[in-house]
């Protein structure tokens, strides 16, 4: 009896709640924000009739919406009303449009401090110590130095030290990457003792035996890589100058790495397997697959609160299966919903001697952009050696899945910056564009993305073999 009453009560409660109008706004995530744009998008889901500032909102699949609102300068009050069975719910958003474009902070020149007479000395204290051409985060990345590199400085600006080196561009490093610099009178002579070559199954190595770890840069151009060691003492001429070493590829470049083992600088470049089977080009190829985000890092969120991390994982798992079935040796960052650090992913790809790294994502859009205009499939790369692969994948996904080609882009992400393996990041489609989001929800579509990526990698491997020197 009590049970029946409880059931009836619950049912009434449920029906009562259900008859209320509701609207769940996913983006923007704050009801009060300031942007520098003439448009704002609202996305969310509902079971009611929704109006934004009295304009009816189009409901996709009868349940979600992505609606843009024009903004005037100053304060914009935006009322979102859900109506169902005569009941309404209202939410108010205050979006302020900036009167003037936001000023980009200009690093001021007068903070520059130069040390006259003496020179400062220190060492990098961690791997991936970034050297930039400008004393700010806005400066271009020149090189990521490993731990233990000896550096000399001749100036300081803010939190950055200027490296004393004969270079076309100035070289700056943030103080967090180095030990507290100490003053010294003269530089210690750096000498290249000898250079030798080695090889193993995956790489060719060039080993520079030095008197101590010196500052270096690597510059990539079409078929060449220029390694520069700074401030090397030449015993014959008794001069100190930069030591340049050109690695000629004469074929599309694969991955490469530069690091220290004690006082030996090791440059290694990846090799293509000797034999590539026309019918099974992926056989024996090491490939790393990365499903973007995971765990509490959800990635972008769809109008129905489906998380990007889950779609990425689904595509990645399909891709892993397809690559394995083609004979590739596949390693991956995650095979379930778990958090993995960005650098952890990169190190895992290196540890597995991957020739190629593929990171899978779905795209998001910043506030102030129009989701109906900006959409499509994109592939991101950072190093020149990944452009060919990026172009092949981008073209194939657009053609195979009949989705707008949004091009390849040079982008500085942790998952694209690594020069080894050849690294690309795929933004398969936009979660905020209704048509593309409906496709991403479809299992066949996701599987076909995986198929298209696998086909692209095959095409890339055959291209590499054809153009091998």
Which residues are at the interface with Zn ion (CB under 5 A)? 292, 299, 361
CB of 300 to Zn ion, least distance (A): 6
Residue nearest to Zn ion (CB): 361
User: Given the complex with Zn ion, which of 281 and 292 has the nearer CB atom?
Assistant: 292
CB of 442 to Zn ion, least distance (A): 19
CB of 344 to Zn ion, least distance (A): 16
CB of 407 to Zn ion, least distance (A): 18
User: Given the complex with Zn ion, which of 290 and 458 has the nearer CB atom?
Assistant: 290
User: Given the complex with Zn ion, which of 43 and 177 has the nearer CB atom?
Assistant: 43
CB of 361 to Zn ion, least distance (A): 4
User: Given the complex with Zn ion, which of 254 and 397 has the nearer CB atom?
Assistant: 397
CB of 453 to Zn ion, least distance (A): 16
Residue whose entry in the numeric block shows the structure tokens 């991403």: 440
CB of 158 to Zn ion, least distance (A): 32
CB of 308 to Zn ion, least distance (A): 5
User: Given the complex with Zn ion, which of 266 and 342 has the nearer CB atom?
Assistant: 342
User: Given the complex with Zn ion, which of 173 and 431 has the nearer CB atom?
Assistant: 431
CB of 2 to Zn ion, least distance (A): 50
**Phi and psi at residue 397, to the nearest 5°:** -60, -45
Helix pair 308-325, 443-466: axis angle to 10 deg: 50
User: Given the complex with Zn ion, which of 252 and 299 has the nearer CB atom?
Assistant: 299
Sequence-separated (6 or more) residues with CB below 8 Å from residue 402: none
User: Given the complex with Zn ion, which of 231 and 292 has the nearer CB atom?
Assistant: 292
User: Given the complex with Zn ion, which of 101 and 366 has the nearer CB atom?
Assistant: 366
Tokens of 8: 């009836």
User: Given the complex with Zn ion, which of 151 and 360 has the nearer CB atom?
Assistant: 360
CB of 299 to Zn ion, least distance (A): 4
Tokens of 53: 């500032």
């Amino acid at each position: 009896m009590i049970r029946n009453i409880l059931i009836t009560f619950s049912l009434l409660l449920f029906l009562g709640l259900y008859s209320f109008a509701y609207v769940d706004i996913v983006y923007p995530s704050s009801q009060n924000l300031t942007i520098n744009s003439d448009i704002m998008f609202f996305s969310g889901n509902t079971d009611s009739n929704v109006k934004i500032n009295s304009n009816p909102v189009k409901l996709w699949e009868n349940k979600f919406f992505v609606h843009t609102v024009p903004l005037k300068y100053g304060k914009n009050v935006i009322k979102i009303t859900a109506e169902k069975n005569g009941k309404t719910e209202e939410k108010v958003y205050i979006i302020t449009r900036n009167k003037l474009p936001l000023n980009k902070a200009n690093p001021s020149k007068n903070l520059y401090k130069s040390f006259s007479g003496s020179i400062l000395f220190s060492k990098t204290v961690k791997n991936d110590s970034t050297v930039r051409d400008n004393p700010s985060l806005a400066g271009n990345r020149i090189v990521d130095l490993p731990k233990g590199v000896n550096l000399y400085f001749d100036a300081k600006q803010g939190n950055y030290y200027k490296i004393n080196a004969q270079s076309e561009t100035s070289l700056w490093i943030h103080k967090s990457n180095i030990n507290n610099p100490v003053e010294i009178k003269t530089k210690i002579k750096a000498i290249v003792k000898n250079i030798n070559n080695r090889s193993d199954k995956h790489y060719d190595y060039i080993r520079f035996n030095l008197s101590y770890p010196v500052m270096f840069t690597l510059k990539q151009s079409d078929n060449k890589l220029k390694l520069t060691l700074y401030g090397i003492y030449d015993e014959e001429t008794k001069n100190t100058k930069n030591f340049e070493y050109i690695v000629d590829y004469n074929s599309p470049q694969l991955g490469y790495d530069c690091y220290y083992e004690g006082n030996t600088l090791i440059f290694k470049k990846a090799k293509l397997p000797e034999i590539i089977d026309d019918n099974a080009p992926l056989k024996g190829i090491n490939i790393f697959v990365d499903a973007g985000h995971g765990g509490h890092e959800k990635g972008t969120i769809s109008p129905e609160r489906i998380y990007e991390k889950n779609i990425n994982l689904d595509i990645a798992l399909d891709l892993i299966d397809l690559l394995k079935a083609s004979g590739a040796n596949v390693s991956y960052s995650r095979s379930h919903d778990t958090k993995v650090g960005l650098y952890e992913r990169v190190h895992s790809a290196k540890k597995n001697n991957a020739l190629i790294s593929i990171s899978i994502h779905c795209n998001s859009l910043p506030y102030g952009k129009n989701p109906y205009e900006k959409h499509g499939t994109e592939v991101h790369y950072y190093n020149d050696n990944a452009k060919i692969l990026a172009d092949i994948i981008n073209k194939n996904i657009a053609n195979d899945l009949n989705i707008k080609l949004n091009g390849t882009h040079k982008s500085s992400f942790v998952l694209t910056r690594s020069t080894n393996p050849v690294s690309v990041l795929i933004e398969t489609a936009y979660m905020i564009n209704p048509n593309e989001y409906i496709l991403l929800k479809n299992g066949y579509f996701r599987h076909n993305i995986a198929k298209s990526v696998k086909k692209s990698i095959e095409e890339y491997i055959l291209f590499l073999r054809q153009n091998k020197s």
